[in-house]
Amino acid sequence: MTTTITIDVTGMTCDGCERHVGEALTAAGLEDLRVDWRRGLAVGVDRGGFDVAKAESALEGSNYEIVSVSTERADTGTSEPADVAVDYDLVILGSGSAAFAAAIEAKELGATVAIVERGTIGGTCVNIGCVPSKALLAPADLYHRAGHSPFVGVETSAGRVNLTALVGAKDQLVATLRKEKYADLLDVYGIDLIQGTARFTGPTTVEVDGRPVVARRYLIATGASTWVPPIDGLDDTPYLTSTTALELTELPDELIVVGANAIGLELGQLFAHLGSTVTWVEALDRIAPFEEPELSGLFKGHLEAQGSTVFEGATAKRAGRDRDRVWLEIDHRGTTVRIEADRLLMATGRRANTPELGLEAAGVEVDRRGHVVVDDTLATSNPAVWAAGDVATLPQFVYVAAASGNIAAENALRGTGRSLDLRTMPRVTFTTPSFASVGLTEAAARRKGRPVTASILPLEVVPRALVNRDTTGAVKLVADETTGELLGAHVLADGAGDVIQAAVVAMTYHATIDEIASMFHPYLTMAEALKLAAQAFDKDVKNLSCCAA
């Protein structure tokens, strides 16, 4: 009796792999064999002589592994054992950056792919995150600068703010990018879009609105949503989130922002630059709590100098409303303080979109916040399921999401075991001035037991900052005291997000402080601050001439 055998093989990465796997399977008794390394599949005909154990033995000790075998009789079309027919090689839950990066990679590997989305295509970044927030931050910064020129002899002024027009332009940009960078790519790459709510019904089975959709592999990329802690009275108090704040068409005179990490600082300063009086409430000991403390302190002073109020080490206890006003009662270092405003913005973090996915039925482990636990290859506790992006236990940055989606797709389909290396992952907070960091803070390096030395360079000695008449900020470099290798770079400056890329490259190639100091850095750029900060380890840069080596 003739039987068609379909074998799922991981570890194939090239045409040569097809040859090696094909030789092993042929020796094990398969005929008319077709091996596809891109899809991780081998299909052949068994005329009674195929021995799975012999095939596994032939591949033992190699990078290739047989993970499943299905058989189909030619005379009946039935499978032995009772395997469920596979609709796709890869089904992706979610349609954001991680999902599309994975889908594109999978299609380039020759796989059949479907994306399942229950809402708007495109995910957080393009719809309610990076794109819309930066589309408003840029004009708000321009408006603020227009009213606060630092240059003698140049008089500037700021007109009125039309928030409705600003938000309308933002929405138009979002719609354009959502179409061009997401929706249109479905046809470009031949990716199927399934609209509906997906839920695992078992370790290898998913239903979308009750309809089974079966795949060889699954990728969870459903992202995360705003999270608000339980605060007495908050449920009966109108408040904004990072999503609804970007939809406001009327500027509040006064705004309370609970949370002063990246999102809270960006959105709070957005409204401060447009004319609102802003009060920040941060539960941790300082604002920008994951940045170097010297930079956090400088930025706090900057906000206060511009008329804002900052409470650090303050816990929100009660909230309420009084007619058109909202109020918040906080515990500030043991003292109860009541603050009032027109609007309350809760910027207290994001949690994974996993509660409705049926992950318990799938045997997929999550952490206490609901994020899918992954290893550095993006594998979950279920060998048929991977996860990528904000839904996973990863830093919540869109470029991390895209990179993890790409790697997860390749690992899921080809078993190559690629890992996501976060050692040189940069992060940027788009305030004015902006924060940008890569690598270890001084405290983190010491916790790892590294012998550490650090330099802190105030912008007062950076020529570009002097020319700009804006010296708010500093650069801090952290290095291994023994080898001089750069372990971390931390910048608070105008254009910090662009400056940090030079430090990313330096750390990628394990550059030392001396090597950075000896490199050419163009004069009168903010990037020169990296060279000066490197020189500051053993020189007083205040006493150097311009560009002195």
User: Is-cis flag, bond preceding 81, omega within 30?
Assistant: yes
pLDDT exceeds 90 at position 13: no
465/491 Cα distance (integer angstroms): 13
Q: Is residue 83 part of a domain?
A: no
Q: Which of 75, 97, 118 is the last residue of a domain?
A: 75
Clarify whether residues 297 and 209 are in a common domain. Answer: no
Clarify whether residues 434 and 397 are in a common domain. Answer: no
Average pLDDT over residues 483-506: 98
Q: Is residue 293 part of a domain?
A: yes
pLDDT exceeds 50 at position 47: yes
Whole-structure pTM value: 0.86
Clarify whether residues 123 and 160 are in a common domain. Answer: yes
Whether 64 is a known active-site residue: answer yes
Q: What is the DSSP letter of 219?
A: E
**pLDDT per residue over 421-435, tens digit each?**
999 999 999 999 999
**Mean pLDDT, the chain, as a whole number?**
94
386/321 Cα distance (integer angstroms): 45
Q: Is residue 191 part of a domain?
A: yes
Clarify whether residues 239 and 203 are in a common domain. Answer: no
**pLDDT per residue over 192-203, tens digit each?**
999 999 999 999
Catalytic residue among 17, 346, 507, 526: 17
Q: At residue 187, what is the residue type? A: D
Q: Is residue 258 part of a domain?
A: yes
| Under 8 Å between Cβ of 407 and 449 | no
Catalytic residue among 64, 88, 218, 239: 64
Clarify whether residues 122 and 200 are in a common domain. Answer: yes
Catalytic residue among 1, 130, 346, 519: 130
Whether 88 is a known active-site residue: answer no
- Quick one: pLDDT at residue 11? 86
Q: Is residue 46 part of a domain?
A: yes
- Quick one: pLDDT at residue 74? 45
Q: Is residue 20 part of a domain?
A: yes
Q: Give the list of residues 6+ apart from residue 372 with CB closer than 8 angstroms, or none.
A: 220, 352, 354, 359, 364, 365, 366, 380, 387, 391, 392, 393
Clarify whether residues 246 and 209 are in a common domain. Answer: no
Whether 218 is a known active-site residue: answer no
Clarify whether residues 214 and 152 are in a common domain. Answer: yes
pLDDT exceeds 50 at position 75: no
Q: Is residue 170 part of a domain?
A: yes
Using a 10 angstrom Cβ sphere, with 0-12 exposed, 13-18 middle and 19 or more buried, the burial of residue 363 is: middle
- Quick one: pLDDT at residue 78? 34
- Quick one: pLDDT at residue 80? 34
| Strand, helix or coil for residue 71 | strand
Catalytic residue among 88, 125, 182, 346: 125
Q: Is residue 420 part of a domain?
A: no
Largest CA distance in the chain: 93
Outline where DSSP puts E strands in 241-391. Answer: 254-258, 277-282, 309-312, 314-322, 325-332, 335-341, 343-346, 350-352, 385-387
Cα 329 to Cα 91, 159, 240, 391, 392, distances in angstroms: 47, 35, 17, 32, 34
Q: Which of 326, 346, 366 is the last residue of a domain?
A: 346
Whether 519 is a known active-site residue: answer no
List the CATH number of the domain containing 302: 3.50.50.60
Average pLDDT over residues 524-540: 96
Q: Which two tokens stand for residue 358?
A: 């049926």
Q: Which residue in 383, 409, 369 sits closest to 94, CA to CA?
A: 409
Clarify whether residues 68 and 93 are in a common domain. Answer: no
Lowest mean pLDDT among 10-19, 115-124, 443-452, 526-535: 10-19
**pLDDT per residue over 236-281, tens digit each?**
999 999 999 999 999 999 999 999 999 999 999 999 999 999 999 9
- Quick one: pLDDT at residue 261? 97
Catalytic residue among 1, 182, 526, 546: 546
- Quick one: pLDDT at residue 9? 87
50/27 Cα distance (integer angstroms): 9
Total domains, the chain: 4
List the CATH number of the domain containing 18: 3.30.70.100
pLDDT exceeds 60 at position 537: yes
Average pLDDT over residues 279-295: 98
Clarify whether residues 99 and 209 are in a common domain. Answer: yes
- Quick one: pLDDT at residue 1? 57
Clarify whether residues 536 and 443 are in a common domain. Answer: yes
Catalytic residue among 1, 14, 425, 519: 14
- Quick one: pLDDT at residue 86? 85
- Quick one: pLDDT at residue 325? 97
List the CATH number of the domain containing 507: 3.30.390.30
Average pLDDT over residues 58-78: 71
Whether 189 is a known active-site residue: answer no
Whether 14 is a known active-site residue: answer yes
Q: Checking DSSP bridges between strand 314-322 and strand 325-332, what pairing results, if any?
A: antiparallel
Domain boundaries, position 22: 3-75
Confidence label for 49 from pLDDT (cuts 50, 70 and 90): confident
**pLDDT per residue over 97-153, tens digit each?**
999 999 999 999 999 999 999 999 999 999 999 999 999 999 999 999 999 999 999
Q: Which of 346, 372, 398 is the last residue of a domain?
A: 346
pLDDT exceeds 50 at position 289: yes
Clarify whether residues 260 and 374 are in a common domain. Answer: no
Clarify whether residues 463 and 524 are in a common domain. Answer: yes
Of 82 and 62, which is predicted with more confidence? 62
Q: Which residue in 118, 96, 88, 109 sits closest to 185, CA to CA?
A: 96
- Quick one: pLDDT at residue 241? 97
